[in-house]
């Protein structure tokens, strides 16, 4: 048995890609996308029809030039999601504009809009996870959106404060970024020369979140993300979900051997009584320099890729 099949016994495997070829090859149940992945896919000639159809949709909707531009960009994410959902049986995570990451009301408005665009195509909201950055504002937006049966994937999660706030808000799923945490520590020369995956700061972060959630019976799904090597993935076998890039999926599939489960559910205890306030959340998050830098950097990066996508649409319009 190859390691990918063995890993599936303990964790649900999600493909981190927007490319149809990779999705058809691995046929996962769920898919995650983000503005960077969408930008990468949409610039390929074979997907030009998605851009053209999105522009046609926005023009049919009418309104100001600005509204048409935004509608076209949003429609690209939905059309790509629609294509992917025709292949997979589960859910797709669709990310909204990162520029809204510090405004709860605008996150809620945009999320409802994306869901309505999917529903125009006959796709149930139960098939969609709205991806939001793990800021306080986005966590509160996700909490509110659950009232409308809209579930969210809280991404760019680097600190324990973010994880705790998400659990307390009862969000559907979180995506702690293993590889980006590792990158930060490596860039600061804080990784030991003799690397041990059990001491990998990204792996340790997810393990801490996992045991906290399971110990207190939180229902929020933990999906390890942003891996740099298969050792990080295998060290988290037993995590609820693992979203993996096509390159690392290929490496797992081509290697043989039984995977040993690393994460085990502890006995459930009573949940903590005190909930984090906004000020407590901000202070605890602020105490982790890595988390502050990587969250800010991630939001900027996704925001920049969203802007580049708008420029491509502008040129076509």
Angle at 190 between CA 185 and CA 192, to 5 degrees: 115
- Beta carbons within 8 Å of 201's beta carbon, 6+ residues apart: 181, 182, 185, 190, 191, 290
Question: From the candidates 91, 131, 214, 294, which is the catalytic residue?
Answer: 131
Q: Which token pair is 161? A: 């404060």
Structural contact between residues 56 and 68, judged by C-beta atoms closer than 8 angstroms? no
Between CA 283 and CA 277 the distance in angstroms is 10
**Residue 113 annotated to the active site:** no
Q: Which token pair is 270? A: 């009573």
CA distances from 160 to 5, 54, 114, 135, 178 (A): 31, 39, 29, 12, 13
Map tokens 């600190």 to a residue: 159
Structural contact between residues 6 and 257, judged by C-beta atoms closer than 8 angstroms? yes
Instruction: Say how many C-beta atoms besides its own lie within 10 A of residue 172's C-beta.
Output: 19
Among 264, 10, 283, smallest CA distance to 164 is for 283
Q: How buried is residue 279: exposed, middle or buried, by Cβ count under 10 Å (0-12/13-18/19+)?
A: exposed
What are the b/e assignments for 78-91, b being 16+ CB within 10 Å? bbbbbbbbeebeeb
Residues with active-site annotation:
131
């Amino acid at each position: 048995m190859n390691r990918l099949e063995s890993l599936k016994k303990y964790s649900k495997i999600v493909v981190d890609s927007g490319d149809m070829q990779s999705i058809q090859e691995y046929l996962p149940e769920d898919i995650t996308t983000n503005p960077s992945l969408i930008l990468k896919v949409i610039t390929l000639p074979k997907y030009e029809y998605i851009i053209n159809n999105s522009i046609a949709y926005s023009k049919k909707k009418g309104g100001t030039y600005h509204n048409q531009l935004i509608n076209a960009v949003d429609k690209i994410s939905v059309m790509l999601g629609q294509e992917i959902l025709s292949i997979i049986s589960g859910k797709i995570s669709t990310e909204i504009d990162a520029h809204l990451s510090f405004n709860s009301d605008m996150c809620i408005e945009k999320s409802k809009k994306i869901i309505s665009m999917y529903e125009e195509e006959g796709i149930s909201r139960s098939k969609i996870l709205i991806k939001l950055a793990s800021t306080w504002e986005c966590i509160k937006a996700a909490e509110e959106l659950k009232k409308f049966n809209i579930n969210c994937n809280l991404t760019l999660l680097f600190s324990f404060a973010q994880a705790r706030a998400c659990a307390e808000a009862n969000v559907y799923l979180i995506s702690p970024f293993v590889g980006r945490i590792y990158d930060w520590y490596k860039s600061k020369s804080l990784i030991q020369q003799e690397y041990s995956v059990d001491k990998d700061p990204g792996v340790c972060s997810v393990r801490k979140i996992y045991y906290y959630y399971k110990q207190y019976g939180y229902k929020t799904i933990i999906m390890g993300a942003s891996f740099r090597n298969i050792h990080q993935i295998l060290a988290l076998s037993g995590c609820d979900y693992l979203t993996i890039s096509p390159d690392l999926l290929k490496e797992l599939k081509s290697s043989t051997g039984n995977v040993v489960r690393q994460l085990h559910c502890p006995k459930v205890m009573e949940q903590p009584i005190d909930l984090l306030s906004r000020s407590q959340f901000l202070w605890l998050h602020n105490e982790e320099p890595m988390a502050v830098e990587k969250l800010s950097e991630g939001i900027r990066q996704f925001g920049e890729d969203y802007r580049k996508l708008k420029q491509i649409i502008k040129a076509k319009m």
